[in-house]
Every structure is written in structure tokens, then in C-alpha cells.
Structure 1
Amino acid sequence: MDRKLSAILAADVVGYSALMERDEAGTFERLRAGRKELFEPDIARHHGQIFKLMGDGMLAEFGSVVDAVECAVSLQRGLAERNAAVPEDQRIRVRIGINLGEVIVEGEDRYGEGVNVAARLQQLADPGGICVSGKVAREVEKKLAFGFEPMGEQKVKNIAEPVQAFRVLLEGQAPRQPGRSSPSRWVWAAAAVPVLILVLAGTVWQFWPTATVSGKPSVAVLPFDNYGGDEATGRLADGLTEDIITDLAGFPEFHVIARNSTEQYRDKPAVPSEVGKALGAGFVVEGSIQRQSDRVRITAQLIDAKTGKHLWTQRWDRPDENLFAIQIEISEQISNRLGGGAGLVQEAGRITAHRKPPENLNAYELYLLGTEKLEQVNQADVEEAVRLLTRAVELDPGLARAWVELSHSHGVLIGFGVEADKNRALSAEAAERAVQLDPSDAEAHAVYAMILGDRGEFERAKAEFDTALRLAPGQFEVLTFYIDGASTFGEPERTAELVDKAVSLNPGFPMWSARIFTHAYFMAGRYEDALRMLDRLTPENYGRKHWVMRSGALAALGRTEEAKVSVTDALRRFPNLTVEGFVNIPGFNEAERQRLIETMQLVGFPDCAKAEELTTLKKPLRLPECASPQSR
């Protein structure tokens, strides 16, 4: 693995969703013209070179950090000049962030904290502005005529230490706090000139069109109102707002407006439509906190910024014994209700997509409709999900989220007994592609971990799951996928407890997750809970495993007649289902195989597999009663 010191620049279009919603074709053409007529020539003029276009994004290299900052300033000036002749609601503005740090070099790509910090600095920049790290400011302050205004140490998501940030003062911009000093107080020795990698569109947003535009929505979380007025409630309100922004930022399905942009609405009335227009947000989250005697009341609501319609609202009443615990609980519940495949933001996007003719759907809308089909968890809908998601990645090969769901879809088809080898290969290919495209996507790591677990590579699977949980520790879907593999790691009781936690995070958990929870409860011997999860499904949602577990759980609980009926139904759908054949399916550990053998034999499934089913396995597990040819 090669590493190098590089300066990283990240840029993001401001109000992209609103621009596309008002004029999709016109915005697309203006962005493409901006790339051809401004960005490409300016990058070349500053001795840079574009080395990769990916979906809506662009990567370029510079030989000098000074050239890099000068190029960023030139780009902002050029955009301002172009915008002067364009109506206000059609203007293209970008935020730019620049960092100097170590990056991982993998072929033509760059990863690591150096890239991540640049992307976070971009979120701190003003529309049309530039935000740089302290390292960049110190490197160029004596070489360029621009001013630098300190923004203080900023705590940014997934970065352990606070980051010193500086606002670049362009012409016509005055410092927000003139009395504060600039970085000229530092005296640094000259450093080796780094290579600059220009990452346009950051980790969540990409805006340079090559073939299509994805159209992800954006969410603005306003400061929660403090109706109590006391300092402790104010701290809780601030902490809750910050936690919701941080947790929502872990969902790559949408963009979250940075807190410095929403802070302007503190302690003042805010009309959602005006907030949406000003910040380019499609959705607004607002709420309040009130303390009365020994209770805390918290309300939160999600609003469609365009229509002003309240899409969701909820209230919590809690004892004020542990305000920090309340803060964590509520922020996790809100973020999981809004984010994820079954969340309210994607649900609203699907409603919009359904109103459009199929030939006009963009990649992101196809992704939304594909996930909707996948969540129905029956063979016909999942096959349609594969078609929609395949079309999405054809239109936008860089849409990592679509690759994640495509991997899930192929995996579900395996459970329905559809071309297992083909779908297993396609699922693995899609998962690997997702991780390569977006290493910061927790769910991409989770789905890849599931692939590795199915291959029996449990140590690598555990490492990928650990990465996913580190990136998104409170995200319901990531925790659910961890649960799907955790019992295989030999911790069935702990895995069942994690199911309890997941259900508390999302009490209205979607149907597909019940399939996963069934496995966890069954392998922990919690058969009543396993059956309770299966009751959330219909027989059309069952794969082979769910018929096996339903039958085995009923038998283990002494519900013999129901168990016999279940076995009959299972064998009608899967005539070749046997104990020996099933326990040799990849992905089970030894303890799980023994539990399956015990319950399947108890309920009366046929013991022995046909010889041809086991020929492709190196060391198939054989039952003693199936060892002789006569038994088969």
C-alpha cells in the first residue's frame, strides 16, 4: 500500500437538488458547460491534469499547493462572472475545501484522512467560498495575497482530532470578526511541494455530469428550540441537533447541510420553504425541547421544504435523570426514521419518482424504485429490483448505493433458489464495486462482509463489519447486517441481544429485516422470538432458510402438528430440500450446522442429499445415516 503527502481539494454544488428540481435539463447543460469552458481550462492553466471522471465527479492533479489554491480562487471568480449573466435561481455556486495530509494511493485513486478532512472542510465553506486547513494556510500564506480568517478548531465527523479551519478572504469579503489574527503568526520551514488531488463533489455529492445526473436530495437540520430557557436544556438542544446532523451524515443516500449553514436560524422563526430555497435543501428537520419539573419533552418533525407539508412528527417524554442518554436515544431514533432504505427521505423520493414517465427516470430515481421493490421480499419483486438497479448503474456506474442494493437483491434471489451460483457471483461483484466506489459507505462494507462470511472467510468478514460499525455505530441498517453475520462468528446470544437493540432503534422495522432477525433468534435458541419475526412475513417472503427455521422452531417448542404442516409446505416449494443438502450451504458455522441438524431431524425433513448436490464441495458434511450408497 503506497502513501504520499498530498493537498486535497473538495468542492460541492450548493443547492443542487433545488436547481435540478427547477430545471433538470438546463442545470445539466450549465454544469457540463462549466466543466468544459471553465474548470478544465483553468486546471490546465494552473499546471493541473484531470485524471479521472466518475459519474458526476472529477479528479485532477497539481504539482504545487500554491497553484492549487490559486486555481480554486480562479474557479470561484470564474463562476461569479458566469453567474452575473444568469438569473438568481439558475446560478451555479460551489463550496471548496482544501486540506494537506497523507493519502493512500491505489492505482489512480486516493483514499484516507487527507481526502476525508478536505470533504469536511468543504461543508464548512460559504457558498462561493473556500475553506482550508491550518496546514494549507501556513504553507501558502507568505506566497499568496489572499487573506485567511480563522474559524477556530472544528470537530468534524469521523475525524478523531479537531481540525483548524480558515476562510479564504476573496475580493469584497471582510473578515467576520476583524479583531482576530490571521495565520501569519506562524513561521514554518518550507515543505516539499505536494501533489494536489482535486476531488470535485466530495464524499456524498458529485456534480460534474458525464452521462446522467443522480439527483440526491438534501436535508437541513435546524437548531432545536429551547423552550425552557435554562442552560442545561440549551446544552441538550445543541447536543441533540449536532448528533442528528452527525448521524444523518452517515447515510449516503442524501446530503446533509453543514451546521454552520443552519446556525443562522437559531432563536428565530424559520419558514421551511425559505430555508429550503436559501440552503438548497429538499427537507427540513426542526424540533424543540421543554423541561417541566422532572420531565423532558422533545418533539421533532420532518417537513417537505417545497410544499411545507409535514411528513412526520413525533414526541418523546422522558425523566430528566440522564440528559446525555436521552440525547443519544432520540438522535438515533430520529436519524434511523429519516435515513436508510425504508426511511422517510427515500420514501418521499419514491413518491416523486412514481409520478415520472419511466423513460425520464434518472439513476437515483431508479435506485429508489429498485429498493422499494427489494423491500417487498418476494421473488417477482426482487427480480424487478435487479432490473431497475442494473439500469441505475448503467446510467451512473459511480452510484455506490445502487451497487449495494444490487448486491442485496442478488443475495435474496439465492434464498429463493434462483440460479444460486450466478447470483452469488453477481452479488459479490456488486459488493466489491460498492466498497471501491465509496469506502466511507458503512453499508457497502457491511454487504461485502456478508459476502465474505458466505465464503467462510470469517476473519475478513468480521474486519469489514467492524469498519461498518465504526463508520455508523448507531445506524439501524448497518447494525442489522452485522446481526446477519454475527451469529456466524460464534456469539449467538450476543447477536440476539443486538436484535433487541436494533428493534429499539427502529420499532417499526421493515419486513426484510425480520428475515435477518429470525436467523439470529433461532440460532440463539429463542424460538418464540424467531416465530414472532416470521409472523411479520408471508409465505411468499420465505426463502428455504425461513421454512427450515419455522418448522424447526415449531418442533422445538412442541407444536408438532403445526411443524408437520410447515414441513409439507416447505417441501412443496423446495422438493429437493434435505438436512444434508441444507447444512452444506456456505455461511453456517459448526454450531449453527448442529442446531439445524437437530431441529430439521426433529421435525422430519429428509436426511440425505443427492450425490450430485455434494460433488462440487471439497469436504461436505455427511450424516452417518447417509454414508452408505443404500441410504441415498
Structure 2
Amino acid sequence: MAADVVGYSRLMAADEAGTARALRGHREAISPIITKQGGRIVKTIGDGVLLEFPSVVAAVACGAAIQRLMSERNAAAPADQRMLFRIGINLGDVLIEGDDILGDGVNVAARLEEISEAGGICISEDVYRQIDGKVDVNFADMGMHHLKNIARPLRTYRAHLEQIMPLRAPRPALPDRPSIAVLPFGNMSDAAEDYFGDGIVEEITIGLSRIRWLFVIARNSSFTYKGRPVDVKQVGRELGVRYVLEGSVRRAANRVRISAELVEAATGIHIWADRFEGGLEDIFELQDQITANVVGAIGSKLEQAEIERAKRKPTENLDAYDYFLRGSAALHRWNREANNEALRLFYRAIELDPEYAAAYGMAARCYSQRKASGWMVDRVEETAETERLARHAAALGKDDAVALCTAGIAFTYVLGAHDYGVDLLERALVLNPNWASAWLFSGWARIWLGEPEVAMDHLARAMRLNPQDPQMSNAHAAMAAAYFFAGRYEDASSWAHAAIREQPVHFIATCVAAASHALAGQAPEAAEAMARLRQLYPDLRLSGLNDCFPIRRPEDAARWASGLEKAGLPQ
């Protein structure tokens, strides 16, 4: 394990004696945690430390415990005086020289620490394979990384910060209307069927979201509890909901059985429970039955029209639906390989059902993700394909929020058709006012359209509906951009750094950090952010900004270019 302090030089420059004293105090507090896990401090170099452990499980458990302790110790400190550690953990052979250890395994750990977010843990794929299911922290796939001075690219994973830094944000208050979270259903079949149960949960969540008087937590936040022992009272507190729906799915041959139970979070009292069973061809009807029963249990006077609004049968072709579920699961992993796999699966769904609007929309979403992540290979060809897919989604899915939303962000972000894209997003929100992704995409669209204040409102709604989103960096980056174009550079840089802590390679967040610091007159911070941006995206130039960012208003484009140029982005 390699660890160091983020921004240590800045802290020392501000208060050398106080910073050194604080670091000693933190190390003394951490020492018992290291000892408990059987760890050994190999050496310390300034603010950095190298440790070895008897097992990777012990190393990760120690890292999580250290970050939890540091979160508590930093809670009362002013923001500019907090000492945040970043940790990298690798598994590999080492050379022993006296009390020191050397070798490629050590070097990789040090490089993983460099790309870890502040307060976070970054691990190698070898570590991930060893600890999967053995520790109480979930890790997100960051894809392949080319680490400095490491010959081969490595797949890396980052810890979900909300699990190791529970004090990071206040718990949300209960909404002023009935609220519910649909937790991942237990998979009672083969592990390879996980995607099927996850897809059913997502469909039930979307169905409930269409009930206007319900407040429904987004899928991404609910799925942070996947594979973990669940205390519904804790879930209710952490997500800010009154009800929790949990259950299980068993699929065998052409039969499916779904068990579900609705629990009042505050008391743990079971309000309703039932079992639904039928042929695979009845899957949509079973989902509708669960939705209707949940709604009926929460509100006794629900009108039948509201139940009917919650029903949606996206396709008659069950094989196409299966490919759609697999594609959705892949897309949520947000890495290049998963994006390619998702696109292949959505194309297969379209091949089986050429009228499947949501499949066209999600395929277009793959291309939006490619542009946002810098994965496009042939921009002209892929942009044209995005337009083809998005137009099909919009034409076929006039009453499908998924199709309209994904088409809307594609038209806005990839194609620069702002007005049409916003119109599609507004129609999606009318159909499903509880869908966090639609509010998030609408926020981004309003940013590019030149309406930052509206964007802030939409993004705040997205974050409340999805308070524990593992991809919260996207919402934070959007909020950073909104504040930037509103001319509030201090707020913009604060949101940008929040996004970077969660996702150190976030493109737009790093751009906003550099431009905001530059226009706020904070030259050292701007230079630091620009150095990071140039390291991550060495081909970025001022001349190519229009290809990356679909900014509509000339004054916004000028502000954006001015900030990045002042920060040091070359022509």
C-alpha cells in the first residue's frame, strides 16, 4: 500500500509547523489500525508512506478504516486545512533489501496512489479479484490506465467514497410526498442471470417513477446496496425515503418468479408482500402487477389512470428485451470496453425488434458517452450514426421517456441541436418526472443552451433523486459548468474539485477547474489543474474546443476559451 497527503506542499506553505504537527497526530491515530490488520510501515518519505500486509484483504480493510478515521478527524477542520490521504494498493512480488521492499509491485502501488481521488482508494485488477465479496467496500471499474513508467496498461478500480467517507454529505430530508427506494432484488438463479434481476428492478423503478405523487430514488443510488447486508432503517435514513421495496427473482427455463415486499423504513414494519409467477412471456405483466400493488399499498385512493400510466411494454420480442437488459448493465460500468459491449448488445436488440425505441436511444447514449470520455475514433462517422439512432428513438418513442431522454442528450451534446434536444428532454420529464437521469441530462442541455440558473435547479433535482450515485462526479461536473457560465468561479472550482475527487480523470471537471481558477485570478491553482488536464488529454487545443463542447452562446464560448487559454491551454 502506498499513501500520501493531497496538497501537502500547499499545506506546508500555509503553516509548516502546524501541518507537520497535524501529520504526526494523524499517523499516531492510524498506527493501531495498521497493527490490527497485520501491516508494517516499510518507510516514510515526507508525507508519503509505504506499507506491506500479509493479505490484500487486510490491506484494503486497513485502507478503508484509515479513510473512515480521517473523514471523522477532518469533519471539524476548515476546508482549507483538511488533510486528505489518497491510497493505492497493489498485489505483486517484491524484492527485500533489509527493511525495504522494491520492485514492480511497489512501483504500481505508488502509481495507483497518484490517480486515487482525495480520501479514496485505488486498487489494481489483481487486488480486485482477490477481495471481491470479502470486504465491506464496493469498487467501481475505472477501465484501463497507462500509469507513469509502467510498461503495460492496467485495469484499475476505485472505492465508492460514500461507503468509506459517510460524513461527506448530510443525509437528505424526507420529501413532502410519499417516497420509495427499490433495492436490488436477490438473484436466486445462476450468477450469470444477475443482469436479468437488475433489469427487472430498473423497470419497476421506472414504472413507479411515472406516478407523479411518488418520489422515487434513482437506480444508481439504490444499487449501491447491491451485494451488501441491508438494514432498511439505515437505507431510509441514507436515501431520505419513507418506504423500501426489496425482493428476489428466480428464473428457470421459461418461467420466472418474483417475490417482493414493501417495508416502512422508519419502523421496519412490512406493509405488503406477495409473490408473482408466470412464463417469461408474462414478464411485463408481472412487473406491472408489482408496480400497481406497491402504489396501492402506499396510497389507497390512487386513481386507476395513474396505475395505467405506470405500465409500459417496451417490446413484444423477449429476446430483444434480454439483449437490452444486458446492454444497460454494461453501459452502467462506464469504461471503454463495456461501452463497446453495450453498443453491440443494443444493436442486437434493434436487429431483433426494429421498432424498439429505447434500444435506439440507449445505442445513441453509447455514442454520447464515447464523446464525453474521449473514446470516439471517427468523429464524423460516429456523429452521423448518433443522429440516425437518435432520430429513430425520437420517432418511435413518442411516449417512451427512456427513448426521448437519451435521444435528447444525443441531439444536444453530440449533434449541437440544442432546441430539439431540450424539447425531447422536456417531453421525457413530463412522462417521468422522477427520473434522475432525465434531470441530469436536462441540466447539461441547459448549460450548453446558455441557461445556467435553470441548469442548477435541474441538477439539484437529479442529485436529490439519486443521492448516492456512484457516478455522482457527472452531476458535480455539470454543476461546476453551470456555475462557471454563471460567472461564479469560486463555486465552479469547488464543484469541479468535488467531481475530480470522485473521478480523477473527469474531462469536463478538470477543464472547469483550470478555467475557473484562471478567471478568478488563482494562477497557481489554474496551472496545477491545466498540468493535470494536459497529462490526461495531451491532444486538447483551443482550436478544437468547438468539437468538444456544444456551447451555443458566443459569449459563453468566449468565456470558456478565455479561461482555458489563461490557464495555459495551447492553440
- Do they superpose with TM above 0.5? no
Is the helix fraction higher in 1 or 2? 2
TM-score normalised by the shorter chain: which range applies? 0.3 to 0.5
